[in-house]
Every structure is written in structure tokens, then in C-alpha cells.
Amino acid sequence: MTHLRENIYALDDNIDSLFTTYRPDVVITWGSDGGYGHPDHRIVSTLVTEVFQAQDSIPKQLLYVGWPTDKSLADDELKTNLAQYLVENLHKTQRKYLSYRIPYDEKDMLIAKEAMRCYYSQFTSEEQNEVFSVINKPEKTIYFRPFYGSNNLVNDIFE
């Protein structure tokens, strides 16, 4: 338990250092649910939120990734366990709380796919491709819930 506590304190310090060094306008993380309950994502969300609350106006906005409750994930039979797990366990949020609705295009999706390739030791190419087919729906919008609640719809995270 002591080792875990030391790692959490170190991670907290590292996040604080990143905020101070890079002074981002916006930080995006998982919500407290970790997206799909992943314990590492839940811990990072908690620490990022704590550091954000302790900062003196840097960053200006904290956003949590969200998925609308009314948005379908899988229309077809899934072939990989990873995609099936995601569909069954992804925590969803009522659309009214997801006031940041950022459109994306195929160029953006290609960049995201390339970034996910760094997880090659965790997920096969087939798993990665199927996960992207699950989340890449015709709507082509990614949703965020702001730390500071808002009823205003936003299409640009830097507004």
C-alpha cells in the first residue's frame, strides 16, 4: 500500500509540473468513471481534477470525455473481445451535460488511429480497427462534459 501511495503522490506532482510547465488552456481527461471503469483511468481523472482545482486559473477549462446515452455503439456483430467489452462497459452521460460537441473528419480520425498505434503491445491492429469502427459513427462528433457545468453548446474547445 505504501508503494501505491508513493506512486500516486509522484503522479500528482508530475501532473502539477505539466500544468505549470506547459500552461495549457484546456485539459482533457476521463471522467470519474474512467470511461469504462478502468482503474488507472479513474485514478488519473481524480488526480487531474485535484490538480486542476488547486491551480491558479491554469488551465482555464477541464473537460471529461463523454458518450451520450442515446448514441448507439455497435450496429454489427463484433469480432474482438476488446470492442465487445467497450460496448458493454462504456459509461454514458446524458446529452444535456455534454455541452462540448466537437466535430471531426476523416483526417482527424487518421491522426487518432496513428496515435493509438502506440498501444501495439496491448491491442492488436484488428482490435484497434474495430474499436474505431465502433466509435466512428456518421455523426462524427466527440463529446465532452466541462468541469464547470454549462448549458451553452460549444463546437470549439478553445472558445
Reported as a pLDDT band with limits 50, 70 and 90, residue 46 is very high
For the chain, the domains span: 2-146
Give the cell for residue 3. 508503494
SS3 for 71? coil
User: CB–CB of 127/135 below 8 Å?
Assistant: no
Distances (CA, A) of 64 to 29, 41, 130: 5, 11, 23
Summarize pLDDT for 65-85 with one digit per residue, the tens: 999 998 877 767 889 998 898
User: CB–CB of 78/130 below 8 Å?
Assistant: yes
Is 29's pLDDT higher than 70?
A: yes
What angle, 0 to 180 degrees and rounded to 10, lies between the N-to-C axes of helices 125-135 and 106-116? 150
Is 143's pLDDT higher than 80?
A: yes
Overall pTM surpassing 0.75 (yes/no): yes
Q: Which amino acid is at 70?
A: D
Q: Which residue has the higher pLDDT, 37 or 151?
A: 37
Predicted pLDDT of residue 1: 62
User: CB–CB of 26/58 below 8 Å?
Assistant: no
User: CB–CB of 60/103 below 8 Å?
Assistant: no
